[in-house]
């Protein structure tokens, strides 16, 4: 109880922390799916699994609201909690939320595994990924689900006032093994794509950008560590509605952060476009003021601003360049020359050269195609 005679309530912290990251992760996933459809990219199994995990995450957030209404975040002796009604409702919604969270995390990790298996890894690393799938299936899904569903009668799983029998009794060691399995598999899912990038021919900028995206998965690993540490707070507690707040927040955050980070890799080009728009204006204005300067990096496709004839004159071709995001079109040589207006290029390269050669009369003018 506080000094002013009121009872503390951390319900706002629970909902504020978990709902905000849930909304953000769901929004990023929707962005990924919409961008994939607009790019005419066929959705893969990992996309569908990620959508299922996100739907379960939203459902879990709704259940968390109900458990908070019935006492989560308050002391169990708080007079605002009616007994036994609120305690039974809190226990029931907490139980349902735990089931949904277990299923969602397992599907999320399976989605990441299907994404990694689509990469051309060697046999050794594919075996490591398959081993991580086995660890998730056993320690993060099967054993925890058995612990949640083993009581008879079934209501005894969440109603502790009912004396029932259990055919499986989980131990503290298995509980901590679940946390260790989460941490190990998270590390595997971060290291795997980074190792893959080292064997692919990409620009240094692109590789470091993708490495940064995958390293964001460490935030989910941090959540797993704190969740594992908080497990001990519920082993011998007499105030579960209050002592379980941190565990609830870390469990929900782990799932939402995992969905968010797993949704980022296909959006790399979109984030690059955003970064180009928010770059300091001096980086772009300097290129406009000094056409011959190479101090800036051109952020556009130079082949799109010249005609085909001028492109042949300058010895460049607009064939084979996909879009402005391609690293092949961001070349230091010749990039700044194309900053000149098309009319200027015609005057300097085409008209002036042809006139000067015609005045001498010593050489028969040849077409550019013949010179080449």
- The domain spans of the chain are 11-273, 292-371
Share of the chain above pLDDT 90, in %: 31
Q: How far apart are the first and last CA of the chain?
A: 88
Residue-wise pLDDT tens digits, 307-359: 444 444 444 444 444 444 443 433 444 444 444 444 444 444 444 444 444 44
Residue-wise pLDDT for 79-92, tens only, equals 999 988 999 999 99
CA distances from 250 to 5, 27, 89, 276 (A): 30, 20, 22, 34
Residue 371 has pLDDT above 50, yes or no: no
Say which residue, 188 or 258, is predicted with more confidence. 258
Q: Per the structure block, which two tokens stand in for 326? A: 């391609």
**Which parts of 107-216 are beta strand (E)?**
151-152, 165-166
Query: DSSP per residue over 305-366, as a string?
Result: GS-HHHHHHTT---TT---TT-GGG--SSSTTGGGS-HHHHIIIIIIHHHHHHHHH-SS---
Mean local confidence (pLDDT), 269-285:
65
Q: Give the C-alpha separation, 322 to 197, whole Å.
A: 21
pTM of model > 0.75: no
Query: Does residue 196 register a pLDDT over 90?
Result: no
Whether residue 266 contacts residue 211, with contact meaning beta carbons closer than 8 Å, is answered with no
Average pLDDT over residues 157-180: 81
The candidate with the shortest Cα–Cα distance to 86, out of 77, 245, 1, is 77
Non-local (6+) Cβ contacts of 150 within 8 A are: 157, 166, 167, 168, 169
Would you state the pLDDT for residue 207? 72
Over 80: is that where the pLDDT of 289 sits?
Answer: no
Residue 301 has pLDDT above 50, yes or no: no
Model pLDDT for residues 97-149, shown as the tens digit of each residue: 999 999 999 999 999 999 888 877 778 888 888 998 998 899 889 988 988 88
Domain 11-273 CATH (choose: 1.10.10, 1.20.140, 1.20.1070, 1.10.1040): 1.20.1070
Distances (CA, A) of 15 to 10, 62, 239, 260: 9, 10, 20, 18
User: Residue 315 has what pLDDT?
Assistant: 43
Distances, alpha carbon 320 to alpha carbons 84, 243, 298, 315, 323, in Å: 71, 61, 18, 15, 9
Asked if residue 303 has pLDDT above 50, the reply is no
**Residue 52 above 90 pLDDT?**
yes
223 vs 173: CA distance, rounded Å? 19
């Amino acid at each position: 109880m506080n000094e002013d005679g009121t009872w503390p309530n951390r319900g706002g912290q629970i909902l504020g922390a978990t709902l905000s990251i849930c909304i953000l992760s769901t929004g990023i996933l929707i962005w990924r799916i919409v961008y994939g459809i607009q790019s005419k990219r066929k959705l893969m199994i990992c996309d569908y699994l990620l959508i299922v995990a996100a739907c379960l995450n939203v459902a879990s957030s709704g259940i968390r609201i109900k458990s908070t209404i019935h006492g989560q975040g308050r002391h169990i002796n708080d007079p605002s909690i009616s007994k036994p009604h609120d305690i039974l409702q809190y226990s029931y919604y907490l139980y349902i939320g735990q089931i949904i969270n277990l299923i969602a995390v397992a599907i999320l990790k399976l989605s990441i595994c299907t994404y990694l298996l689509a990469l051309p890894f060697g046999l050794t690393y594919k075996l490591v990924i398959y081993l991580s799938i086995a660890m998730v299936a056993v320690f993060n899904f099967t054993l925890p689900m058995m612990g949640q569903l083993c009581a008879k009668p079934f209501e005894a799983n969440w109603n502790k006032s009912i004396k029932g029998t259990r055919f499986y009794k989980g131990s503290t060691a298995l509980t901590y093994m679940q946390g260790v399995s989460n941490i190990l598999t998270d590390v595997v899912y971060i290291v795997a794509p980074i190792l893959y990038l080292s064997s692919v021919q990409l620009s240094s900028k692109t590789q470091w950008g993708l490495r940064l995206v995958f390293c964001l998965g460490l935030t989910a690993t941090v959540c797993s560590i704190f969740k594992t540490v908080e497990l001990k707070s519920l082993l011998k507690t007499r105030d579960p509605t209050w002592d379980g707040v941190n565990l609830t927040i870390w469990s929900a955050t782990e799932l939402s952060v995992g969905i968010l980070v797993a949704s980022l890799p296909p959006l790399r080009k979109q984030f690059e476009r955003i970064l180009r728009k928010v770059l300091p204006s001096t980086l772009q204005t300097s290129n406009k003021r000094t056409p011959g300067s190479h101090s800036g990096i051109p952020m556009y496709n130079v082949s799109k601003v010249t005609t085909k004839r001028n492109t042949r004159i300058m010895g460049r071709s607009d064939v084979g360049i996909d879009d402005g995001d391609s690293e092949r079109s961001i070349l230091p040589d010749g990039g700044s020359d194309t900053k000149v207006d098309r009319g200027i290029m015609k005057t300097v390269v085409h008209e002036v050269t042809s006139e000067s050669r015609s005045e001498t009369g010593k050489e028969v003018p040849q077409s550019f195609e013949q010179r080449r």
